[in-house]
């Protein structure tokens, strides 16, 4: 009920509390398909860039992962809970040989339930610099050391619930210099794919690994759109 005793649309009451932006209405185009109406500038003043941690409840530790249930408070006083997987961070590498081919690995990923074709990657040790992790992981997963490591950028992988941030590198000037793989990893010798073959594998659905998809974009930006 509204303050004047009359029923009012639920959305009006909600907007008064949360200051929601205008939501575009759905309409139909000439072909009968639904499309969104165009909007003018939308007020973004409702977006907050911070929240206070009220309480963090540890739930479980599994290896290097720590899972908590956090209560946070936004600047308007609203409190809510978030389950968070705390991750130490990782690196991922485009490993490129002298012919410009990518060294790709195939690795069983349990949550996916199958082997994925992906770029080499690895988790950072506690307090470890990403450059150090990258130099180690390329040797462990491909059997080659990189004479040149160039930072391409970075990305949050699933910031809705996980703190994992991956640093991306381009590894070139390769020399054979393997390190033993981790005891719980079973990685076959790398496959060498041209950039065109990598893109074709993405288009066909053979590559469904998000690290590899992000690496393609970062490498293209690094090389001025050429990949």
pLDDT (tens digit per residue) in 91-108? 999 999 999 999 999 999
**Given this model, what pLDDT does residue 131 score?**
97
Question: What mean pLDDT comes out for the span 137-146?
Answer: 97
**Angle between helical axes of 195-204 and 210-222 (0-180°, round to 10):** 140
Both structure tokens of 153 = 């950028």
Both structure tokens of 11 = 């959305």
The conformation of residue 143, written as its DSSP 8-state character, comes to S
**Given this model, what pLDDT does residue 24 score?**
38
**Rounded-to-integer distance, Cα 190 and Cα 209, Å:** 16
Question: Is 90-222 a CATH 3.90.79.10 domain?
Answer: yes
Domain layout of the chain by residue ranges: 52-84, 90-222
**Given this model, what pLDDT does residue 10 score?**
38
Both structure tokens of 211 = 């690290």
**Given this model, what pLDDT does residue 187 score?**
85
pLDDT digits (tens, 9 = 90+) for 57-81: 999 999 999 999 999 999 889 999 9
**Given this model, what pLDDT does residue 48 score?**
63
Which residues face 96 on adjacent strands? 102
Total Cβ atoms within 10 A of residue 135: 18
Confidence check: pLDDT of 224 > 60: yes
Left, alpha or beta for 170 (phi > 0: left; psi -120 to 50: alpha)?
Answer: beta
Question: What mean pLDDT comes out for the span 140-163?
Answer: 97
- Which range, of 19-23, 67-71, 197-201, 210-214, averages the lowest pLDDT? 19-23
Total Cβ atoms within 10 A of residue 132: 12
User: Between these two residues, 119 and 49, which has the higher pLDDT value?
Assistant: 119
């Amino acid at each position: 009920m509204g303050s004047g005793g009359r029923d009012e649309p639920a959305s009006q009451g909600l907007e008064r509390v949360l200051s929601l932006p205008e939501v575009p209405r759905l309409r139909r185009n000439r072909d009968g398909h639904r499309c969104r109406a165009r909007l003018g500038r939308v007020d973004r003043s409702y977006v907050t860039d911070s929240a206070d941690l009220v309480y963090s409840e540890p739930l479980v530790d599994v290896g290097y992962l720590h899972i908590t249930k956090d209560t946070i408070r936004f600047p308007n006083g609203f409190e809510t809970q978030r389950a968070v997987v705390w991750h130490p961070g990782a690196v991922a590498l485009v490993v490129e040989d002298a012919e410009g081919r990518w060294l790709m690995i195939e690795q069983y990923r349990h949550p996916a339930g199958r082997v994925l074709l992906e770029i080499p990657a690895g988790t950072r040790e506690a307090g470890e610099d990403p450059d150090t992790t990258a130099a180690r992981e390329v040797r462990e997963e491909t059997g080659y050391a990189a004479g040149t490591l160039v930072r391409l950028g970075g990305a949050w992988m699933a910031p809705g619930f996980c703190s994992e941030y991956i640093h991306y590198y381009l590894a070139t000037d390769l020399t054979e210099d393997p390190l033993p793989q981790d005891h719980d990893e079973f990685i076959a010798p790398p496959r060498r794919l041209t950039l065109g073959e990598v893109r074709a594998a993405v288009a066909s659905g053979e590559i469904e690994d998000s690290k590899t998809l992000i690496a393609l974009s970062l490498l293209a930006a690094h090389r001025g759109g050429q990949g």
